[in-house]
Structure formats: C-alpha cells, structure tokens
Amino acid sequence: MELNRRTVIAGAAAAGIAATTLGTGSAQAATGSASGRKPVKEPFGKLADGTRIYRWSLENGGTRLKVLNWGGVVQSLEIPDRHGRHANVSLGFARIDDYVAKTPYFGALIGRYGNRIGKGQFTLDGTAYQLSVNDGVNSLHGGKQGFDKHVWDVEPFTEGSDVGLRLHYTSVDGEMGYPGTLRATVTYTLTRHGAWRIDYEATTDKATVVNLTSHVYWNLAGEGSGTIEDHELTIAASRYTPTDAGLIPTGELAKVAGTPFDFRHAKPIGRDIRAGHEQQVQAKGYDHNWALDKGVTAKPEHVATLRDPRSGRTLKIATDQPGLQFYSGNFLDGTLTGTGGRTYRQGDALCLETQHFPDSPNHANFPSTVLRPGRTYRTTTIHTFGV
C-alpha cells in the first residue's frame, strides 16, 4: 500500500477531533478562554547571514504555545497542573544561536523523512538514491540540513474558536539527496479546549518518499525538573520493530509481550528501562518504533497516554499514522542548558513521534511512504492535555 492511497481527514473534519475523540481536561475548561488570542509575533534573534528569526506566541483553552520560524520549532508549550499552575513541559533553548549550533531536534518539525534510513540509501522505481548521512553511515531526520534547519514561512490565523499557524517550506529536487520538489505545509492549531493539533500536507512533482513528524521532548513535570522515569506511559501496540546496532530496523515485527517493550498497560517508564534487554543495551534505553495495533487509519485514533503523577498532568496522543517512536532521552548528556537555565541530563525528557516506520523504503513489509505526483500527503496528530 502506497502512502498516496491513504487519505485522512482534513479541514472541517479535523477541526472536530480534539473536542470529540479524546475529551478535554478540567484545568483547560476552567482556565481557558472561549476563543484564542491572535498570535503575537516578536523578534528572536538573527542567523549569521542576517536572516531574522521570529517567535509567535499563541494561547487558547489554557494552553500556551511559542513557535519559531526556524525549523517550525516549538520553543515552549505551557499547560496547567491539577492546581491550575502553568509550566513549560517542552525542552528547548532560550537563544537562536543554540538551536543553530546544537542538534538535539528540540521541538522541531522533521523532514523530509523522520527517523533513520539505513546507509542513507533506497531504491524507488528502479533508481537508486544516496541521501545525506549524519548519523554514522545512516541518514537521520532528513540528513545534515533537514527541515529542522531551515526558515519556514509562517502565516498566523484565527478561525472561529481556533487559533494557529500555517508553516510553509519548499524542499527542492535533490535537497539532501531526495528526489522531487516537495511543497510542505504544516498547520499548528490550538483549539478552544486547549488541544494542540498538527496537520501535515505535502505534494511533489516527482515520485519520492516522505515521513513528517514533530520532535517535541516532553517532561510533564516541567522542563529542567529532572527525570521522566516516574512518568506513566501507555502505548496501544502489541509489536515493535527491533533494530540493529545502528538503530536501523531489522524488518522484524516482534511481540512486546514478556519484554520491557510492553506498554499496553500503563507503567512507569523507569520500571523496566534497565532490564538489560539486548535492544535496550544498544539503544541506551528506549529508542524504538512501536507498530500501533490500529495501523494506518482514515482519521486520528488514540494511541498513547503519558501521565506525570507529581503534577497530575496528562498527555493523550491521537494519530492516523501506523507507528510511534518512543525515545527516552538517552543522549541528553548534561552539556545542554535549557530555557529555564538548567542543564538537561539523560532521561530528563522523552519523545513520542507519530510516524511511518523507520527505514520503510528498504522494507517491503512495512507500510509504504511513497508519494507520487498528483497525490497529496496528509496526516494529522492531536495532543490533548488534562489532569
């Protein structure tokens, strides 16, 4: 099945999902306004060539979101706890220089292909392609200059009770080795209930592969507050994709039952993180794709829940994608100082990236990520916050 055969919700249908599919948190209902405030734009520094970088601030339904035109980065995302106290639950930097010089992908839009492609190589319609490699011999998150390292055009909007940003970027034919000129639009929407919806859309003029995602690092106790090992996680997946030593999937869809990878029922992330499973040892924790039980769906379905017992904050994720990459912040090493002035250490945050499977172009048994001319790539992920 090629990606271009799956059409997911868009427009008005997507607008209703956050309010009806997952429900809303009481804190958002209590503190949120009936309609969002118009996005506010402010300077956030300059690049070395003088290009100005801006930050947009949005607020709706008790959720506060700050976004950069550099890489579509979520620089801050604030939500209330059980007492109505807001905290930034997304890791990030206070200065543009740090986003440019360091590459942990904090809060970034990822493309043209999220996650890894083995040896940066794939063959499509009989033509072999060599991509930019930036993770040993492999290509990670689009290569050395993926979508996270470009300036996006940003269009703010308010529509009814929603407020948001439309971000546009055109990736030219051959950029980072990918075929076809890809025109991408990513829409960030805060609903009146405080949910954060991401709608991805792209077209191409030549057959290509595409897998867009968001790389927010979550700590529901607040960025810089310490470990996420006490966070409780649920993932609706009976299988995951084991990897080789380079974190490239072997092609197997392994059962989670009886392994530390079983999150079908809520458990603290730290419970099994040091279980000594071979897959954990080579990844230094969790850095794997879960094959969601629902597969590819026509509209977003609830696939994961994250809860912080200390603050009471919860995050529910719905997506139409077939995979979820859970990364437990294994490579945070204390060398990065975040927005709150504190250093980030191993396990101080986690990522939950909705996606197609890593290295899909090289595995015929994985759902296809091929996009062809005349077709439109569409996918939606919804984050619902509560207590």
Catalytic residue status for 278 = no
Q: CA-to-CA distance for 45 and 55, rounded, in angstroms?
A: 9
Q: CA-to-CA distance for 244 and 224, rounded, in angstroms?
A: 32
In eight-state DSSP terms, residue 270 is: G
Cβ neighbours for 123, distance < 8 A, ≥ 6 positions apart: 129, 361
Would you list the DSSP string of 157-210? EEETTEEEEEEEEEE-TTGGG--S-EEEEEEEEE-TT--EEEEEEEEESS-EE-
Longest CA–CA separation in the chain, Å: 58
Q: CA-to-CA distance for 248 and 231, rounded, in angstroms?
A: 27
Contact between 27 and 11 under an 8 Å Cβ cutoff? The reply is: no
H or E element that contains 97? helix 96-101
Q: CA-to-CA distance for 353 and 248, rounded, in angstroms?
A: 16
Q: Which of 353, 356, 363, 383 is catalytic?
A: 353
Backbone angles phi, psi at 111, to 5 degrees: -175, 170
What is the distance in angstroms between the CA of the first residue and the CA of the last residue of the chain?
Answer: 39
Q: Which of 215, 288, 363, 383 is catalytic?
A: 215
Q: CA-to-CA distance for 220 and 228, rounded, in angstroms?
A: 8
Catalytic residue status for 353 = yes
Q: CA-to-CA distance for 371 and 147, rounded, in angstroms?
A: 17
Active site amino acids: 215, 353
